[in-house]
Structure 1
Amino acid sequence: MTSATTALVTGANKGIGFAIAQGLGRRGLRVVVGARSEAAGAEAVERLAAQSIDASAVRLDVTDDASVADAATELDDRFGTLDVLVNNAGISGAFDPVTWEQDPTTMDLDELRRVVDTNVYGVVRVTNAMLPLLRRSSAPRIVNTSSSMGSLGRQPGPVMAAYSSSKTFLNGITVQYARALADTPVIVNAACPGLVATDFNGFAGDRTPEQGAAIVVQLATLPDDGPRGGLFDDGGVVPW
């Protein structure tokens, strides 16, 4: 067990998650790539190590109680503590390939449940499993990767009934964690990376993964007097 600052990033084997791990690693943090596939996690670690980043992987499926519990036990055994948790893993759910929409009037409830299970319940599942480790840190940070598409005020982009609603739910959960942990060193916020070109959206975004990751990295390394319970993008607070 060392005194290095350790960060776990879920869904970090590709896209924004990989860029977040890369950004934190470049700041000198020891990063743990959370990935459902051991092979994908190992490949990401190899790419990070090639950049002289201290990286390792842990198998982690945010929708599986046993997988999350095993990952927490493994991190406890390896490091004994956790300083940063980035809940990045997420899915869009099925959408119309022509309109890019999820129509609430025809939405399949099982598909909605699948999206919420990953994007919201997965965050709660992982956060609660990792909190005992985070509480051992002197400056613990939790960042939930969200979206301004969950904003009730802005309502940007196409109608995405499952995805956007899950992010509204996630923003609400983020606030409740921040309130519950207000008197502790644990700082909790949500981040909006913007429309990033990844396989998540068919590479249709206008931002690079590195650009999208920047706000997450910033929130993950906030000073002790940093903001709590907010949703932020590059421009500052996102009203939602």
Structure 2
Amino acid sequence: MSAETIVLITGANQGLGFHTARELLLLPKHHVIVGSRRPSSGDAAVEALRAVPGIQGTVSTVALDVTDPRSIATAKSHIETTFQRLDVLVNNAGIFMVPKDISPSGESSMVNDRALQHIFATNVVGVASVTEALLPLLRRSTLRPRLVFVSSSMASFTYNSDPRSPHGGSFAVEYRASKAAMNMLLLEYHMSQPDMTVIGADPGFCATEVTGEGADAMRAQGAAEPEVGGRVIASIAKGDKDNLPGRVHSAQGVVPW
């Protein structure tokens, strides 16, 4: 496997991560590691990916809960033992919650502190923990390693402060704040790791299970199919936007901060 590009995608057993893996496996000389919190879900995803017509790459799975330091350490050890290095890390695992919280006064609260802690634990702390753990393996890459952060236009201060924007307003504050914080991680790694390509991907509004309301509910709101977002992430993971690192890229172009 020494000639293959070794890619780890966190949270790749379903949704955007799965479709990102699918797109990359259509390329030759790519080995995709499906990060999955539950081993059984990872195994099922690998079986489904291997059955995709036309795939040229290879695929395996690793148990990885981005909120569990022991799980991260075990996953790192497995990747190091099996592949000795990592060429691309796609920080895709994330959660989205829209809490409906009522304050003691009976008024709706803008921020649910428990939801904020839970979302930040996955979308920010988990991303940082996985990245820090795997930086040594990325530095062993025989290529120019690539570190990809899956972000969102909902993290854009420019969009969210514009009442004319679809992202304007104060909906899903906890999620928006987490992705904005993750964007700062992206920028800091970009500035501190000159020998790596650090870059962000905005897959857009896609019909997945991330909200807990079901993909069909998101389709009813105009969401695209997850393979559309998967193609955006895969394009960036394979280097199509390497000429402009340190920014978040969507299908429409660079997402403003």
Q: Taking structure 2 as the reference length, what is the TM-score of the superposition?
A: 0.86
- Give the corresponding residue for 1:219: 236
Secondary structure (helix, strand or coil) at the match of 2:159 reads: coil
Q: 2:31 and 2:42 mapped to 1: Cα distance?
A: 15
The 5-angstrom pairing of residues 17-96 of structure 1 reads 17-28=17-28, 29-51=30-52, 52=55, 53-96=57-100
Structure 2 counterpart of 1:145, from 140, 146, 150: 150
Equivalent residue runs for 1:1-240 within 5 Å: 2-28=2-28, 29-51=30-52, 52=55, 53-96=57-100, 105-137=109-141, 138-155=143-160, 156=167, 159-182=171-194, 184=195, 186-201=196-211, 202-203=214-215, 204-205=218-219, 206-222=223-239, 226-240=243-257
Contact 1:93–1:114, Cα closer than 8 Å, also in 2: no
Matches of 2:235 and 2:111, distance apart in 1: 36
User: Where does structure 1 lack aligned partners over 5 or more consecutive residues?
Assistant: 98-102
Secondary structure of the 2:200 match is strand
Q: Distance in 2 between matches of 1:114 and 1:227?
A: 32
In 1, Cα distance between the equivalents of 2:183 and 2:155?
8
Matched letter for residue 231 of structure 1? V
Shift of 1:106: 4.7
Structure exhibiting the larger radius of gyration computed from Cα positions: 2
Using the alignment, how far apart are the partners of 1:235 and 1:5 within structure 2?
27
Q: What is residue 100 of structure 1 aligned with on the other side?
A: none
Change (3 A) 1:66 1:104: farther
Distance in 1, matches of 2:51 and 2:242, equals: 35
Deviation (angstroms), 1:223: 6.4
How far, CA to CA, are the matches of 1:141 and 1:27 in structure 2?
17
C-alpha distance 43-225 of structure 1, shift in aligned 2 (>3 A)? closer
Aligned partner of residue 35 in structure 2, secondary structure: strand
5+ long unaligned stretches in structure 2: 102-106, 161-166
1:105-161: per-residue Cα shift (whole Å, max 9, x none)?
353322211100100111111111111111111221111111000110101066111
SS in 1 for 2:210: helix
Which amino acid is the alignment partner of residue 146 of structure 2?
R
CA distance in 1, matches of 2:65, 2:42: 12
Residues 66, 130 of structure 2: 8 Å contact kept: yes
Aligned-residue sequence identity (percent) comes to 39
Q: Which moved more, 1:223-232 or 1:157-166?
A: 223-232
Segments of 4+ in structure 1 off by > 4 A? none
Paired AA for residue 146 in structure 1: S
Q: Distance in 1 between matches of 2:154 and 2:16?
A: 17
More displaced stretch, 163-172 vs 223-232: 223-232
Name the residue aligned to 2:104. none
Tell me whether 131-140 or 200-209 shows the greater mean CA deviation: 200-209
Identify which range, 113-122 or 208-217, moves more after superposition. Answer: 208-217
